[in-house]
Amino acid sequence: MKMATYPVLNCEKEEEEPVSNLAEPLVEVTPPTNAFLVRQPVFDKDMEVYAYDLLYGQREQGGSADNVESSQVMLNAFLDIGIETISEDSFSIVKVTKDFVEGKLPLPFPPHNVFLELPDDVFKPDMSLEPLEKLRVKGFKLACANVDSLADIEGVLAHVDLLRLDFSAWTKEQLALSIPQLLSYSAKLLVININTQDDFSYCLDLGVELYQGRFISEPVVVSGNTLKPNRMSLLSVLKELEDPDCDISVLEDLISQDVTLSYKILRIINSAFYGFRRKIDSVKQAVVSLGLTVIRDWFIIISLTNIDDKPQSLMFQTLQRARMMQLLADVMGVNKDTGFTVGLFSSIDAIMDQPMEAVLKALPLSHEITEALMEREGVFGELLNIVVHYEEGDWKYINSIGFETSELSTYYFESMLWTRELFEQIKND
């Protein structure tokens, strides 16, 4: 599939055609010029986003990475972009340095909806709790993490609002003994590095409130490799749309059979996203006006975002990843539409609840795309690696590649804003 590029909102144009080529950012945004910044979702028990963990780092300057999370890096990361832009209506979790805890530096964001994660070096046997209480009086919520045992933080548990535990650093037996004790405090419990659905179920049974990890993008493989009816239908449609010989009449029939889909596509086409002077009032007219590729792409995107039993955040991440892949591919001088497709299908196993290999066997994707998705090989496999490592806040890996810090930050935030606007167009019925 070749993914068509979508135009700028509210664009002015003389010709009655949608703008192609690389879209400009939907909102003016100035990412930090010498800092990486990424958000990672924190989920509640219902798989809704409760907060965003905001991770930041900087380009290494020829030496140690000890200063990656310095006070100056944090200031650079949050001064140019408001925290509301990043986290929207959710809480934010930000790791702060000792200078901020002790009041030596002002915090670069308002206190509401912010958890300040305390640095490890503030926890001492004779530590004063006065700085912590001053922050709470100002309206900040406090979080602590990286504890090896409950004894390390028992003295401050009554003064924090969020406790982060690393699932990979504790045995299940230790968690089973400790979590009931921790739940007796008022602090919310967040367990990170939950990377499988089994891990999630285990912690859910123990009463854990908040979760973070790759489990959200992992498939729940059902026995016998059977697909749920809605997945089977979607896979059939995807297979038809990926067929190079798919013609306009077949596509019209597919869209017209679904009233909701037809309605959404016509709404999008008649919105400022395209800015046609005349109203497009039929699927056939839409196909003629925009072309087979653009309509096919919208069909796939809307279909993916309407799977009701998958978290919206998974679909958001998928589309944001696809957009960032498209931007990076264009910079690298390779096919940006193929880049988008690789990003779009990078979570198809989680969406379909099937192994990636099984899903790709059913789709007539090119060898180049399949190689990137299965083996992370080829230029698109390398680009997918860059995007995934950036999403995970793996600054060591990011520092080992050739992109400038400001470039990756710009592409990440442009992709986030583009996807946010895309969701508004799709969901605004």
231-261 pLDDT, tens per residue?
A: 666 777 777 777 767 777 777 777 777 777 7
pTM (2 decimals)? 0.78
Mean of pLDDT values over 373-391? 94
What's the pLDDT score for residue 261? 73
Q: Percent of the chain having pLDDT more than 90?
A: 23
What's the pLDDT score for residue 63? 38
What's the pLDDT score for residue 321? 95
Mean of pLDDT values over 23-32? 44
SS3 string, the chain, reads CCCCCCCCCCCCCCCCCCCCCCCCCCCCCCCCCCCEEEEEEEECCCCCEEEEEEEEECCCCCCCCCCCCCHHHHHHHHHCCCHHHHHCCCEEEEECCHHHHCCCCCCCCCCCCEEEECCHHHCCCCCCCHHHHHHHHCCCEEEECCCCCHHHCCCCHHHCCEEEEEHHHCCHHHHHHHHHHHCCCCCEEEEECCCCHHHHHHHHHHCCCEECCHHHHCCCCCHHHCCCHHHHHHHHHHHHHHCCCCCHHHHHHHHHCCHHHHHHHHHHHCCCCCCCCCCCCCHHHHHHHHCHHHHHHHHHHHHHHCCCCCCHHHHHHHHHHHHHHHHHHHHHCCCHHHHHHHHHHCCHHHHHCCCHHHHHHCCCCCHHHHHHHHHCCHHHHHHHHHHHHHHCCCHHHHHCCCCCHHHHHHHHHHHHHHHHHHHHHHHCC
What's the pLDDT score for residue 70? 59
193-241 pLDDT, tens per residue?
A: 999 889 999 999 999 999 999 888 877 665 444 555 556 667 777 777 7
Mean pLDDT of the chain: 78
119-176 pLDDT, tens per residue?
A: 877 776 667 788 888 998 999 999 988 665 666 666 677 788 999 999 998 889 989 9
For the chain, list the domains and their CATH numbers: 45-208 (3.20.20.450), 223-427 (1.10.3210.10)
What's the pLDDT score for residue 376? 94
Q: Percent of the chain having pLDDT more than 70?
A: 78
